[in-house]
Structure 1
């Protein structure tokens, strides 16, 4: 016996396409249209029931009406080398006249000559730029900011070196001035054979410029770590 031709019009009619990335639920829409003057019962089946959620997966379509079916692919680890063999089948039959108490019972009592079906294969698509362009952009941003930090660090190091050299020169000048001051003091002080030896003079404090340089260096270092 020849098989009854499918009465419903399916959109799409040959395959369901799911576009990745597949780290979250991906939904494909299937539209079922009834161009006839009779009510049509439908049921959606799949070869991989654990991988998909179909809403609604069965029902009745009134004459000249349509129903949108959401086919939701659950998240999974996509492997482009793995061959996809998932398929869907939309099974239909004309609904009997009058009220229908149980669609489940109606399907159980249906004979093969009453059934019509259409098959669709599943196609997985991964965006071409999802694995190449995004990482490149991210890397360029990281490299740019890293280079900026390196430049700031080098400038800070050069400034610290220059200030250290200036500080060393100031210390040398201070030592020379101190020696000259002590020499002048000793040479100008009267000597006494019986009196006690003159007490050594106190070492003068560092010039204010030295403290300013040290404070500036600490400020640069602390500011670098804060920002």
Structure 2
């Protein structure tokens, strides 16, 4: 049976991937008749989608919007190949229990429309990528200049460090020479003290000998 409803979109339900890796879309169902219709939405992967509402009423010459969301995260490189079937049939206004009504409805009186699903990246991401690309192009010359400036600074700093190191080496060498000179001076002083000590002993010995000789000679000549 044909001609009860029309849907939008007609071929593909484009699911927009969000930041949390969940996706959503909207399906519009149009009542093309002056009669009250009931609709029911089915999918080949019911464990992946949440359809609100999946069952309902459409007033004559009116429409309803169906919200369809994924309940499991989807990888950005993933794909959606699920199919959706929209069923529609006329209904009396006094009908209340739609679930029971659909179970008892003659299939030959039901119009069926099918639509496929596919994953679509949000346009905002493309805009962000475009903006980042422009920013990269604009900032690239500045980054090169900054790198050159940094290179010059590093080169000058390196030359100063090398010069400081040369001065430090010279200072270390002078300190070493001063330490050697102090050790040599100390050794000379110690030798000088030793020489004086030996000289004093030598002079005392000679004085004693001379005194002894004088006493002997005095004793001899005294006799």
TM over 0.5: yes
TM-score, normalising length: structure 1: 0.60
Query: Distance between the aligned counterparts of 2:46 and 2:93, measured in 1?
Result: 32
The structure-2 alpha-carbon separation of the partners of 1:91 and 1:195, relative to structure 1 and needing over 3 Å to count, comes to: farther
Distance 1:156 1:69, change over 3 A: farther
TM-score by length of 2: 0.61
Equivalent residue for 1:70, pick from 67, 70, 73: 67
CA offsets per residue over residues 114-138 of structure 1, 9 Å max, x none? Answer: 21121101123457988xx79x98x
Contact 1:22–1:76, Cα closer than 8 Å, also in 2: no
Cα distance between partner residues in 1 of 2:189 and 2:81: 108
The answer as to whether partners of 2:83 and 2:116 remain within 8 angstroms in 1 is: yes
Superposed CA offset, 1:21-77 (max 9, x none): 796110011112224332211110011112222111111122343221111133234
Which consecutive residues of structure 2, in runs of 5 or more, have no partner in the other structure? 199-223
Conserved? CA contact 1:23–1:77, under 8 Å? no
Aligned to 1:205: none
CA contact 2:21–2:76 (8 Å) conserved in 1:
no
1:102 is aligned to 2:97: yes
Instruction: Give 1 or 2 for the bigger CA radius of gyration.
Output: 2
Aligned to 2:60, what secondary structure does the other structure show?
Answer: coil
**1:53-202 alignment runs, 5 A limit:** 53-73=50-70, 74-77=72-75, 85-98=81-94, 100-125=95-120, 162-180=163-181, 191-192=192-193, 193-194=195-196
Q: Which runs of 5+ in 1 are unaligned?
A: 197-227
Indicate how the Cα distance of structure 1 residues 110 and 153 shifts in structure 2: closer, same or farther if over 3 A, else same. Answer: farther
Tell me how many residue pairs correspond in the alignment: 180
